[in-house]
Amino acid sequence: MKKKIFFSFFMIPIIVFSQIDQNILPFSFNNKVDFKLIDNYIINSFDIDKFLLEDNDDAFYKQYSFAQSYDLDLNFDDCFFIETDSFFVKYLKISIPNTYGTALYFSNFNLLNDEKVFVYNQSKSYLIGAFTSLNNKQNGFLHTRFLPDDTIIVEYQKLKINTLKDIEIQSVAGAYRSIFNGSDWCEININCDTLALWQTVKKSVAKITYKDDDNDKYYVCTGQLVANTSIDQTPYFLTANHCLNSESEANSAIFYFNYEAEDCLLDEGDDNQTISGATLIATANNKIDFTLLQLSAVPPEIYDPYYVGWSRVDVYSDTSICIHHPAGDIKKISKNYTPLLISSFSGYDFDKHWQIDEWNEGTTEGGSSGSGLFTSNGLLIGTLSGGDASCDYNYNDLYQQFYHEWDDYNLAQKQLAYWLDPYGVNPMQMQGYFPYKNINLPKPNNLKALLTDSLVEITWEASNPPADKYFVYKNLELLAETIEPVTLYDVLIEDSVYVYYATAVFDEQESKPSNFEVIVFGDTSRVPKVTEIRMFPNPALNQFSIITPDTIPITKIEIYNYNGLKVVEQEVNILRNVTIDVSDLPPSWYIIRIYTTGDIYTRKLIKYIDY
């Protein structure tokens, strides 16, 4: 019954955070362990026919239910174990007969350094892990991806000196549908289209599996990493509201990057580039069909992620493209060659959707929900809500317009603008970017923008070594190109917010941006203002910034590790934008205490490693 796909654990790279596996082998892979001695917890109520009958056959919403969750509350207190000099190696075995795949939901997951957890099958042909202290989260939860077997072994290497409570398995899920190779006959593999643009945009798109709050079933949707105007690598991820709309669903989500066939004809791909868990940032229930998440980790360089750009157009008549994971399958591409119409989608605001009259190539299915609709130049303009389209009737799909997701509703938690445009520049579009491209090129330093009346004086320092030339940007658009640092002048006319930065160019390769300088000019009452303390990027690599309103001056910053030990204390004498260096801190999560003249604010920060 099971469709097996071999995942070579020997090739998993050493990278960190969330469900990003590390290249460490379980104890049993190098030592003899008799799995017959491990008690087997068997789920006997798994009934595929019953679950399929329960499911709503209406595919209009383009979700894809595929698994059922069971509460377990298993612990390692009385389990089979092996004692070594420094560890207790503990084992549990869980079986769900006839399932297509099995996933676990850990609670109290708070490992010490050097402790490890693995999940694998009895034949040792599938392995998930190692999970280590770098996978600890503040809420103590960890969801695993689905391992394609109906019996799994859980190996927990616990230090003898650890007196804390063991991790627990709160629930287990069994897949009653395949999430491998299940899409319909007319779908087109993403790598059948070799156009460089779509080979770039595809790297923003990921499959999502998550546990629904209402029925404890697991679903598949699609979404994409989106760029913000700070170009700061904050892992914002956009999908549909009717897919995920709660914090618990976001916590349960697994994001599968680069799950695709290597070429046009193959129908299998590796699904081991994953991130576990996210935070719900913004959504507008029953109004606008979008959900903005922040992934629990920045996708590492080996994933080769792309932060897709976007456009706020409200009329569009050119070719439009969808990249998605129908039925949880490998990545597919669909194309529409006719102008988009304006329409409505059941349950959401009237006339705020794009309508695809007919797909000319490919289609969408359950699992495609939340996937992006892209312009012919690769900018995101909508996210899939649902529709009638299928291989047999390829008409009438509906995408929530990015234009309305942007700021139809004023509250920060119900719009994209507050998060994707933190300075309030309000651009009509933004180009995407590869966060790791040219990351080692020297950047310009110490850019300054000084406003006198309506004249902005812009200066910066050369990179080290000096670049071939420098680009200076104003509100994401190229303002000037110079051979060396010079003083530039810019005359402002319209009341607005203006953001300046510079890049260095070596052999036609452009560096990452310098620091940003923000100018607020004239009457900006119509411009979005910072109304709370914010930190970005988060997760952070070497540094992060804190932005506050002008009315909340910061006096001191403290950073505490997850054991409650203060690791950083810094006095502050700067308003609005404070940058903190965390390059010397080990990867983990931290509590940031922000002292102001009137209060103390607490935020969580994740520090990650860049390989």
For residue 550, the tally of other CB atoms under 10 A from its CB is 10
pLDDT of residue 18: 43
Which top CATH class is 437-521? mainly beta
Domain boundaries, the chain: 9-54+65-175, 179-422, 437-521, 534-607
- Mean of pLDDT values over 567-584: 80
Instruction: Please state whether beta strands 205-211 and 429-430 pair in parallel, antiparallel, or not at all (unpaired).
Output: unpaired
- The answer on pLDDT for 5 being more than 60 is no
pLDDT of residue 22: 54
Distance in angstroms (rounded) separating the CA atoms of residues 189 and 361: 11
According to CATH, the topology of domain 9-54+65-175 is: Jelly Rolls (2.60.120)
- Mean of pLDDT values over 377-393: 96
- DSSP-derived 3-state class of residue 367: coil
- Could you tell me the pLDDT band of residue 573, with boundaries at 50, 70 and 90? low
- The answer on pLDDT for 12 being more than 50 is no
- Mean of pLDDT values over 197-221: 95
- Mean of pLDDT values over 563-570: 85
- Could you tell me the pLDDT band of residue 13, with boundaries at 50, 70 and 90? very low
Is residue 211 within 8 Å of 173, Cβ to Cβ? yes
- Could you tell me the pLDDT band of residue 214, with boundaries at 50, 70 and 90? confident
pLDDT of residue 576: 59
- The answer on pLDDT for 433 being more than 50 is yes
pLDDT of residue 68: 95
What is the percent of the chain with per-residue pLDDT over 70, rounded to a whole number?
Answer: 91
- Could you tell me the pLDDT band of residue 574, with boundaries at 50, 70 and 90? low
- DSSP element (H, E) containing 30: helix 27-30
253-296 confidence digits (pLDDT tens): 999 999 999 999 888 999 889 999 999 999 999 899 999 999 98
Three-class SS of 467-532: CCEEEEEECCEEEEEECCCCCEEEECCCCEEEEEEEEEEECCEECCCCCCEEEEECCCCCCCCCCC
Which top CATH class is 534-607? mainly beta
Tokens of 566: 């203060």
Distance in angstroms (rounded) separating the CA atoms of residues 352 and 492: 34
- The answer on pLDDT for 222 being more than 70 is yes
- The answer on pLDDT for 536 being more than 80 is no
Higher-scoring residue by pLDDT: 540, 324:
324
With DSSP H G I counted as helix, E B as strand and the rest as coil, what are the percentages for the chain, rounded to 5? 10, 40, 50
Of the candidates 400, 407, 403, the residue with the CA atom closest to the CA atom of residue 526: 407
Q: pTM, whole model, 2 decimals?
A: 0.83
Q: Which of 39-43, 406-410, 543-547 has the lowest mean pLDDT?
A: 543-547
Distance in angstroms (rounded) separating the CA atoms of residues 377 and 318: 10
Q: Let me know if the fold of 437-521 is the same as that of 534-607.
A: yes
What is the percent of the chain with per-residue pLDDT over 90, rounded to a whole number?
Answer: 69
pLDDT of residue 359: 97
- Mean pLDDT across the chain: 89
Is residue 144 within 8 Å of 175, Cβ to Cβ? no
- The answer on pLDDT for 73 being more than 90 is no
344-362 confidence digits (pLDDT tens): 999 999 999 999 999 999 9
According to CATH, the topology of domain 179-422 is: Thrombin, subunit H (2.40.10)
- Mean of pLDDT values over 98-105: 94
- Could you tell me the pLDDT band of residue 1, with boundaries at 50, 70 and 90? very low
DSSP readout, 522-587?
S--TTS----S-EEESSSBSSEEEEE--TTS-EEEEEEEETTS-EEEEEE---SSEEEEE-TTSPS
